[in-house]
């Protein structure tokens, strides 16, 4: 399912029928989607009991995002991880970042807005890969981080490279669109990304930073954001737009949390 959904990201025209066929082959995901569409977030008269009906009401991109989130977090839950890793915190941070950056992409002229949700969902997959494949090095990174050093500097000292690089390389290996890999690679140095007037990496950096600031970080934070860190306000939203974005973010988080964690 994930392979076919990811492939659909690069398709110029994905039909309701094709996407419906993919979802209907997984009973758990289909049931969760119907539960979601019948939740308070999408409150409607009458019960929606068909995947095709849900698609027609929500639209292809919204359904694809929700199903990708459900599928990815379910896949991660089956991976054996060291005790130093919290999959619950990782899923919370990833899904919240995905929800928020998708809302930002609907309001701002970022490049490749259709890839915003996936960029948020998978932006820190490199951190999970490090913890899974290199548990000893991961523990050394955490020990340095506990002493107060910035996380990327801890990774560089232990590994010689950092998780944004690994995340971007993994997404490229999985054949995700290049715009998503570029955004993920530059998430911690968005000023270096000049791929568009408002690069997707800028929205990703601001969304991830905000999610961290409300306590949904992968590791408990022990250092303050750097002065050059991008904020939601720096993206160009006015006060009204920012307030409405955060209000919608809270509603979507509350509705989707049970499916993404």
Q: Could you read off the pLDDT of 168-177 as tens digits, one per residue?
A: 999 999 888 8
Q: How is domain 79-260 classified at the CATH fold level? A: Hypothetical protein af1432 (1.10.3210)
Q: Sorting pLDDT into bands at 50, 70 and 90, what band is 92?
A: very high
Domain boundaries, the chain: 1-59, 79-260
- Flag whether pLDDT at 105 surpasses 70: yes
Q: What SS3 string covers the chain?
A: CHHHHHHHHCCCCCCHHHHHHHHHCCHHHHHHHHHHHCCHHHCCCCCCCCHHHHHHHHCHHHHHHHHHHHHHHHHHCCCCCCCCCCHHHHHHHHHHHHHHHHHHHHHCCCCCHHHHHHHHHHCCHHHHHHHHHCHHHHHHHHHHHHCCCCHHHHHHHHHCCCHHHHHHHHHHHCCCCHHHHHHHHCCCCHHHCCCCCCCHHHHHHHHHHHHHHCCCCCCCCCCCCCCCCCCCHHHCCCHHHHHHHHHHHHHHHHHHHHHHC
Residue positions counted in the chain: 261
Q: Could you read off the pLDDT of 113-145 as tens digits, one per residue?
A: 989 999 999 999 999 999 999 999 999 999 999
Taking alpha carbons only, the member of 76, 82, 86 closest to residue 135 is 82
Q: What is the mean pLDDT of the chain?
A: 88
Q: What is the pLDDT of residue 221?
A: 73
The number of beta carbons lying within 10 Å of the beta carbon of residue 163 is 26
Segment 19-34 mean pLDDT: 86
Q: What is the pLDDT of residue 178?
A: 92
Q: Could you read off the pLDDT of 214-256 as tens digits, one per residue?
A: 999 998 875 555 555 688 988 999 999 999 999 999 988 888 8
Q: pTM of the entire structure? A: 0.88
Q: Sorting pLDDT into bands at 50, 70 and 90, what band is 8?
A: low
Cβ neighbors of 136 (< 8 A, separation 6 or more) are none
Q: What is the pLDDT of residue 225?
A: 56
Q: What is the pLDDT of residue 249?
A: 95
Q: What is the pLDDT of residue 226?
A: 58
Kindly report the backbone phi and psi dihedral angles of residue 83, in degrees, each rounded to the nearest multiple of 5, phi listed first: -65, -20
- Flag whether pLDDT at 111 surpasses 60: yes
Q: What is the pLDDT of residue 127?
A: 97
């Amino acid at each position: 399912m994930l392979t076919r959904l990811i492939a659909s990201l690069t398709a110029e025209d994905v039909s309701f029928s094709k996407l419906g066929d993919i979802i209907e082959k997984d009973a758990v995901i289909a049931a969760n989607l119907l539960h979601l569409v019948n939740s308070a977030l999408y409150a409607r008269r009458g019960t929606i009991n068909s995947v095709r009906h849900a698609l027609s009401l929500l639209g292809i991109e919204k359904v694809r995002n929700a199903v990708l989130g459900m599928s990815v977090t379910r896949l991660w839950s089956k991976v054996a991880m060291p005790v130093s890793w919290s999959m619950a915190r990782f899923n919370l941070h990833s899904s919240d970042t995905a929800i928020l950056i998708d809302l930002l992409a609907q309001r701002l002229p970022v490049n490749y807005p259709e890839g915003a949700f996936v960029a948020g969902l998978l932006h820190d997959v490199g951190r999970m890969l490090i913890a899974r494949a290199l548990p000893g090095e991961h523990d050394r990174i955490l020990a340095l981080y506990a002493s107060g050093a910035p996380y990327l500097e801890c990774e560089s000292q232990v590994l010689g490279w950092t998780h944004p690089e690994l995340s971007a390389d993994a997404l490229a290996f999985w054949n995700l669109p290049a715009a998503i890999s570029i955004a993920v690679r530059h998430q911690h140095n968005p000023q270096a990304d000049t791929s568009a007037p408002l690069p997707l990496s800028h929205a990703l950096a601001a969304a991830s930073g905000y999610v961290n600031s409300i306590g949904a970080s992968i590791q408990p934070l022990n250092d303050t954001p750097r002065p050059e860190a991008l904020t939601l306000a720096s993206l160009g939203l006015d006060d009204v737009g920012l307030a409405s974005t955060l209000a919608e973010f809270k509603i979507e988080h509350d509705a989707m949390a049970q499916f993404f964690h």
